[in-house]
Amino acid sequence: MKNLAYFCAYAPLPLLSSCGFRPLRVLPTENAPEAAGQWLHDNMCPHVKRLLDRAVAGELPKLDAVLVVNSCDPMRRLADAWR
C-alpha cells in the first residue's frame, strides 16, 4: 500500500483506503521549528503552520501522496505552500 498523508478530519478515509492508500493522519506538534513563516503569513492558523513546519523539518514518514482537503482557507494556503 502507498502512504498518503492527510491533515484534516474531513478526509474521505474509506475512499482513500479503497483506492489502495494507507491514510496517515499528520498532526502538529508543539515543539516544531517555526520555518513555515517563509511560505505562510504570520497570522495564519498555527495548526496549519505547524503542519508545514513538520514537513520542512523532515519529520514525516516516507509519503507517496498528500491530500489537502478544501476545508478552510488556511488548508488551501497549505496546499499552495506544499506545491
Give the pTM: 0.84
- pLDDT of 18 reads 96
For position 13, what pLDDT does the model report?
96
What pLDDT is stored for residue 76 in this prediction? 94
Q: Give me the domain span that covers residue 43.
A: 2-82
Count of alpha carbons within 13 angstroms of residue 10, beta-carbon side: 6
pLDDT per residue of the chain (83 residues) written in tens, 0 to 9: 999 999 999 999 999 999 999 999 999 988 766 788 888 888 888 889 999 999 988 989 999 999 999 999 999 999 999 88
Q: Based on the structure, what is the number of domains in the chain?
A: 1
Q: What is the domain-level CATH number for residue 26?
A: 3.40.50.11890
Name the region of 66 (left: φ>0; alpha: ψ -120 to 50; beta: rest).
Answer: beta
